[in-house]
Structure 1
Amino acid sequence: MKTTGSILALAGLVSLAQGHGFVTTPNPRLPGSAMEAACGQQVYDNQESNKYGNIQNMLQIAEGQSDYNAAECDIWLCKGYKFADNKDNVYSYKAGEVVDFVVDIMAPHTGTANVSVVQTSTDTVIGSPLIYWSVYASTATGVTKNETNFSVTIPDDLGDKCATAGDCVLQWWWNAASIDQTYESCVDFTVGGSGSSSSGSSSSAAAAVTTSAAATEPTTTAAAVTTVSTPDTANNIAPASSSAPTTLATSVKQTATTTPAAVAVSSSAASAIPTNGTTEEQLTWVASLLKALLKYAN
């Protein structure tokens, strides 16, 4: 019993250590059973306990899983979080409506960020980003207020593309290329169409981020970018171009040839502890192994 408690405590500390950014307003997608079925037990456990974590860390965990299906998980779209788990959390907006946005950032990592409307069926940005930072969460200045509290305006040229719940998300995307970590949150919404109305106020927010379509380069937008001299200033125009995260690896679903218990343990230990990775990555590796051992010890 004491050993079990120690393992759980360590896993909890690891979850806190690796969490760095997530949207708190409006209510974003959360992990659920549909995400678990598509992305596998360990990736789900990681996000269920630590939704603030980054996508590269999720991919590292998924590498050794036998129940991870890259195509079904679609991890670069909303971190694999599924609309099926969030049907009761859909905001209804009007074209031109101003939406307040709140982001909780636990630690700064210099990068770029934006909020965009993303079409979920193709994992592509509709139009241009609604807001963009060429310098975001700088380690030199720390996190500034306009990076965590800001507003975006729902475009008036969406037509019927976002009329049905599940068709579009407002996606916040923070790519901290300096440490090869990407953070993401999605808010389901409709514009003048069908869908459940969230219990939150429709003016409380939704926004989005540029997305890379499952291991493909992000689309380059046509608009010119204005250089941001300080992280206190955000551009309400699209960047001229954006760099894809350097880690875009996906895993192919494996066929289990061993017993379930053996698969669970070996899936965590399939790759050696990342000695050249960050402390976060090493702690995550240990936590994944401990969770697998704990599950089958009981």
Structure 2
Amino acid sequence: MKSYSAVVALAGLVSSVAAHGFISSPTPRQPGQGLKAACGDQVYNQQSSDHFGNVQGALQNLQGSQPDCRMWHCKGVPFSDAGEVFDYTPGQVIPMKVEIRAPHDGVANVSIVKVSSDTVIGQPLISWDQYALTSSPLSQHPDWTSFDIKMPDVSSECAKAGDCVIQWYWDAPKISQTYESCIDFKMGGGSGGSAPSPSASAAPASSAAPKPSSAAPATSATPTATVPAATPTPSKVEEVATPTASSGAGEGSTLPKSFTIDSFITWLRANAGSDTATKVSRAVAERAHPRAFRV
């Protein structure tokens, strides 16, 4: 058996299992024909069958050039797939519910995102520097899945449908998995408020209360008020061993005894084809992002 086949299978497994989550209320964007047109059939098929998946897993299913696919924005689901567009007013309290299918240690926030620039407006509305921990049952932390947000006055930025979204963002950096889902809304001068009624379980537990937007970040893992430019920067790759001239990647069909991730990708491209190399590269690369809470 070729040695790269096991690595490819493992890489695919890493990004397809573990944590899963999605907004359940208010009604979020759902994958539709807009996602299919922007990101291709395989991404659409994957998200349609399981919209609880992560961004990195969706990236592995990109085929060919997809210049209109904005995978780091609402997990690629565009405004054309918006269902209900809510009318909200400044100061309105919105009850939110999130369904977590499988937890994994991470950080999370809920923010108002300007769609045209994919940037956060102001501070996160609510944030957690410890979220969905595997060491603590979800039942002990109702604030992770049922909570309220208070809408700021973003009427100048979000007057029209499609201008802005409320984005729930959960990042599990230890396993390089990121989850996003979005609620479409607009904010005008009139009264609004089509949000669902809050439930009795929406009150967060006092022992694990999330941080409101006015609270100062407790650790360097929490987002700052200024969102950096949305230019991805590659993560550091831990070197397994320094390749030598006699063991460099791409020399013959035998897997070198020592290599870096980058040289292994080069070897895969030469011996297993560009498609396989691309899938592995997407699986192991940490895609940096403005809301990834990484230093």
Query: If the length of structure 1 is used for normalisation, what is the TM-score?
Result: 0.63
Corresponding letter in the other structure for 2:49:
S
Contact preservation (8 Å) 1:137, 1:231: no
Contact 2:19 2:103 in 1 (8 A): no
Counterparts of 1:214-293 in structure 2 under 5 Å? 232-237=208-213, 239=217, 241-242=222-223, 270-271=276-277
Counterparts in 2 of 1:273 and 1:34: CA distance versus 1, 3 Å:
closer
Letter in 2 for 1:46: Q
Structure with larger RCO (C-alpha < 8 A, sep 6+): 1
Alpha-carbon distance, 1:269 to partner: 6.0
Aligned residues: 213
User: Structure 2 CA distance, aligned partners of 1:267 and 1:20?
Assistant: 31
Using a 3 Å threshold, how does the CA distance of structure 1 residues 267 and 75 change in structure 2: closer, same or farther? farther
Q: Are 2:150 and 1:153 aligned? A: yes
The separation in 1 between residues aligned to 2:73 and 2:179, in whole angstroms, is 11
Matches within 5 A, 1:134-145: 134-143=129-138, 144-145=141-142
Does the C-alpha gap of structure 1 residues 46 and 267 become closer, same or farther in structure 2, counting only changes over 3 Å? farther
Task: Answer whether contact 2:167 2:183 (CA < 8 A) is retained.
Answer: yes
Task: Name the structure 2 match of 1:41.
Answer: 41
Identity %: 43
How far apart, in 2, do the equivalents of 1:26 and 1:41 lie? 27
Moved more, 136-145 or 106-115: 136-145
State the 1:242 CA deviation. Answer: 3.8
Whether contact under 8 Å (2:107, 2:131) holds in the other structure is yes
Q: What residue in structure 2 maps to residue 25 of structure 1?
A: 25
Amino acid at match of 1:185: S
Query: Does the aligned pair in 2 maintain the 1:19–1:50 contact within 8 Å?
Result: no
Q: Does 2:198 align with 1:192?
A: no
Asked if the contact 2:166–2:183 (Cα under 8 Å) also holds between the matched residues in 1, the reply is yes
Match of 1:85 among 65, 81, 88: 81
Correspondence for 1:167 among 149, 163, 169: 163
CA distance in 1, matches of 2:60, 2:177: 12
SS in 1 for 2:102: coil
* Larger Rg over CA atoms: 2
SS in 1 for 2:211: coil
CA distance in 1, matches of 2:273, 2:112: 36
Q: Is the 8 A contact 2:88 2:194 kept in 1?
A: no
The aligned residue for residue 195 of structure 2 is 202
Shift of 1:85: 1.8
Residue aligned with 2:169, SS: strand
1:48 counterpart SS class? helix
The secondary structure found in structure 1 opposite 2:210 is coil
Cross-structure match for 1:282: none
- Residue in 1 aligned with 2:176? 180
How far has the Cα of 1:98 moved from its partner? 0.3
Deviation at 1:231, TM superposition (A): 7.7
Q: Please tell me whether the aligned partners of residues 87 and 194 of structure 2 are also in contact (alpha carbons under 8 angstroms).
A: no
How do 1:107-146 and structure 2 match up within 5 A?
A: 107-143=102-138, 144-146=141-143
Runs of 4+ in 1 over 2 A off after TM superposition: 16-19, 200-205, 237-244, 266-274
Distance 2:101 2:19 in 1: 7
Given that 1:61 and 1:268 are in contact with CA atoms closer than 8 Å, whether structure 2 keeps it comes out as: no
Check conservation: 1:25, 1:102, Cα contact below 8 A: yes
Q: Distance in 2 between matches of 1:121 and 1:163?
A: 13
Q: Provide closer, same or farther for how the CA distance between residues 273 and 162 of structure 1 changes in structure 2, counting only shifts above 3 A.
A: closer
User: Structure 1, unaligned stretches of length 5 or more?
Assistant: 1-15, 206-229, 250-265, 279-298
Give yes or no for contact 2:109–2:124 (8 Å, CA) kept in 1: yes
Please list every run of 5 or more consecutive structure 2 residues that lacks an aligned counterpart in the other structure: 1-15, 199-205, 235-271, 285-295
Q: Contact 2:84/2:184 (CA < 8 Å) preserved in 1?
A: yes
Structure 1 match to 2:69? 73
The structure-2 alpha-carbon separation of the partners of 1:33 and 1:273, relative to structure 1 and needing over 3 Å to count, comes to: closer
Q: 1:248 to 1:23 in 2, by over 3 A?
A: farther
**Residues 114, 165 of structure 2: 8 Å contact kept:** yes
- Report the secondary structure of 1:43's partner residue: helix
Q: Residue type of the partner of 1:37?
A: A
Contact 1:162/1:193 (<8 A) preserved: no
